[in-house]
Amino acid sequence: MMKINRLSITEAFPVFISSTCKNATKQDLSDIIEDHKNLFHELLLKHGALVFRNFAINNATDFSDIIESLELGNFVNYVGGDSPRDKVKDKVYTSTEAPANLHIPLHQELSFIKNHPKHIYFYCEVEPEVGGATIIGDARRVLKSIHPSVKEQFQQKGLTYVSHYFHQSKLMELVNRIQRSHKSWPEVFETYSKQDVEKMCLTNEFDWQWLKHDWLEIQQTRPATLSHPSTQEDVWFNQAHLYDFNPKLLGWKRYLAAKLFYMRKSMRLHEIMFADKSLIPRQSLYHVLDVLNQSTVSFPWKRGDVMVLDNILSMHGRAPFSGKRRILTALTA
Ligand SMILES: [Fe+2]
């Protein structure tokens, strides 16, 4: 453990940076970040995850001020992401509003997008009552734990992600009222303009196609692994395991409901295949899910905690929960 002024720093995964004084304020944390920015950046590159604890970070504004003081990049919107979430204030969102009883496996945010965010931040506004830890994992270790034959196939072939989004649909609105699960394209792209959608598709190298009834199909081909631009370390970097709807990911009840509901291919929220359009063996995806589960570190929240993840080195997910829980999130690139 390192001691600096009124700080204790524990190098672990995540690195804990806590105030040793009672009543440390947001301004105290901003000043500390100003004084030790380089150290925090180095720790983040080494360990992939930092947590600031015991500072009075009281709301979304405090949270975004702390992100700005870290100077890791510029805020970006969650454009192109289709996990259900709400915008709290400019560039700050609720973490996923996916059903509370669903386990969300480890992943890097928007890893299927060329211009993916470099960092993701979380803030605990309301501590989870039961369960609800954010789970994290080291993507370098994940890559090392994937079976060589699976790794080789994924790396050689690359991945094609396919998504379908509606515009106005009474049926989809009803589905989302029962369970928020399938966003419309104006929600995904945060615009009603088809031209703006097309511009974003071009920037991100998505192929797109407008379908009947104003549905939109997006396809993108991305690598399965990545080298970190600063450390040159190789990491597992894809969301194939979240794009295949299977019983291991969703549980049998949800899987059967999805299978029935998404009989029509042109409505399916997600599909995944190798870039040569061949099928990914489900056993390979199950192996990936197993490795991710074995690599999972649970992080129980305390109110006011701010977590910073290098979105290439570290993965995140969510344990199921019940009762209240409000975790906010933001991205920078
Ligand atoms: Fe996420």
Q: Residue 96: pLDDT band by 50, 70, 90 thresholds?
A: confident
Gap from CA of 95 to ligand 1 centroid (Å): 7
Closest-CA residue to 271 (of 161, 194, 170): 161
Gap from CA of 3 to ligand 1 centroid (Å): 32
Gap from CA of 5 to ligand 1 centroid (Å): 34
* Neighbouring residues of the ion ligand 1, judged by CB less than 5 Å: 109
Gap from CA of 49 to ligand 1 centroid (Å): 15
Closest-CA residue to 248 (of 96, 141, 102): 102
Gap from CA of 108 to ligand 1 centroid (Å): 6
pLDDT digits (tens, 9 = 90+) for 37-66: 999 999 999 999 999 999 999 999 999 999
H or E segment and range at residue 173: helix 170-178
User: Residue 266: its pLDDT value, please?
Assistant: 82
- The mean pLDDT of the chain is 93
Phi/psi at 103 (5° precision)? -85, 125
Gap from CA of 83 to ligand 1 centroid (Å): 8
Number of H helices, E strands in the chain: 11, 22
All CATH 3.60.130.10 domain ranges in the chain, comma separated: 2-98+115-128+300-332, 141-292
Gap from CA of 323 to ligand 1 centroid (Å): 20
CATH number of 2-98+115-128+300-332: 3.60.130.10
Gap from CA of 273 to ligand 1 centroid (Å): 21
Please give the CATH architecture assigned to the domain spanning 141-292. Answer: 4-Layer Sandwich (3.60)
Q: Tell me the whole-structure pTM to 2 decimals.
A: 0.93
pLDDT digits (tens, 9 = 90+) for 258-282: 888 888 888 888 999 999 999 999 9
pLDDT digits (tens, 9 = 90+) for 98-150: 889 899 999 999 999 999 999 999 999 999 999 999 999 999 999 999 999 99
Gap from CA of 209 to ligand 1 centroid (Å): 26
Gap from CA of 155 to ligand 1 centroid (Å): 23
